[in-house]
Amino acid sequence: MEPNVQLTDYIESCLTNIYGHHVTILSMQPVSGGDINRSYCLRMDDGKKLMMKLNSNSAYPNMFELESCGLDLIRNTHTIAVPNVVLQSHYADQSFLLMEWIDSTKPSASTSALLGQQLAAMHRHTAARFGLGHDNYMGSLQQSNRMHNTWAEFFINERLQPMVQTAVNKQLLSNVDVKQFDRLYNIMSSLFEEEAPGLIHGDLWGGNYLIANNGTPFLIDPAVSYGNREFDIAMSTLFGGFDKSFYDAYNEGFPLAHAWQQRLDLWNLYPLLLHLNLFGGGYLGQVKSCLQKYV
């Protein structure tokens, strides 16, 4: 999906109302983004730059509204920066999200440590139960956030079981695999100690944070819920992008429970199942390898 003249005119009209002066978009330059949305750098005649994400409203209903809500939840903790949302709307079937543009640089040991410190502070923001008041997305797949009293119940019912069922429907998992997951469900509560729910980013891989040129860490593309904070830490290890200073600073600010390293593959079953469902059997070996460590 590419922006057309009608969409550009609509955005210019909206920005004119927001800023109180006439706005002309000089250019929309494609930028690298995820697999779901088209991303652009918008340059305006007043010198401002904005980040625009664009997709199909019918294919991904309310995706950007829910992303904006997730950014608000993180922002309201006053612990770690997220981009300011300028406008979330749609024109015909073109849904878009406009945010402040963050000029970014590569992380250093000190900025990675700051990211770890601030994530630890965010995780201290808690709720009465695990989940969220509304569902959202992780990647392009809808994510259920029904509330549960324990992380074990939440992780089984709202994370693993839906992904396993989708994989079975796609003939990516066998009956033998399903029985292995059933065994895992039966012992899940014995594999870790429950702790209070924390606000988690939910999709914390290396592509979902930025370090601004002034050294400020920013979180982007959230899939938030109140969950076990080890989930964020586990996912940060899945594809790389985080160095030792990040983990050291996190553990200094909010020490992880004993033997947390032994549970990384347990929590990563969810993002690996999601990747299996999105991209196919290339992820099956990793799913089985992680599963076999616990059953």
Catalytic positions are 203
Is the backbone of residue 131 left (phi > 0), alpha (psi -120 to 50) or beta? left
Neighbours of 285 (CB within 10 A): 11
Question: How far is it, in rounded angstroms, from Cα 16 to Cα 20?
Answer: 6
Question: How far is it, in rounded angstroms, from Cα 48 to Cα 98?
Answer: 12
* Alpha helices per DSSP H over the chain: 5-19, 63-75, 109-123, 151-154, 161-169, 175-187, 230-236, 244-253, 264-267, 269-279, 284-292
CA angle, residues 171, 143, 218, in degrees to nearest 5: 125
Question: How far is it, in rounded angstroms, from Cα 259 to Cα 237?
Answer: 15
Query: In b/e form, how buried is each residue of 262-282, taking b as 16+ CB within 10 angstroms?
Result: ebbbbbbbbbbbbbbbeeeee
The tokens for 145 are: 């956030």
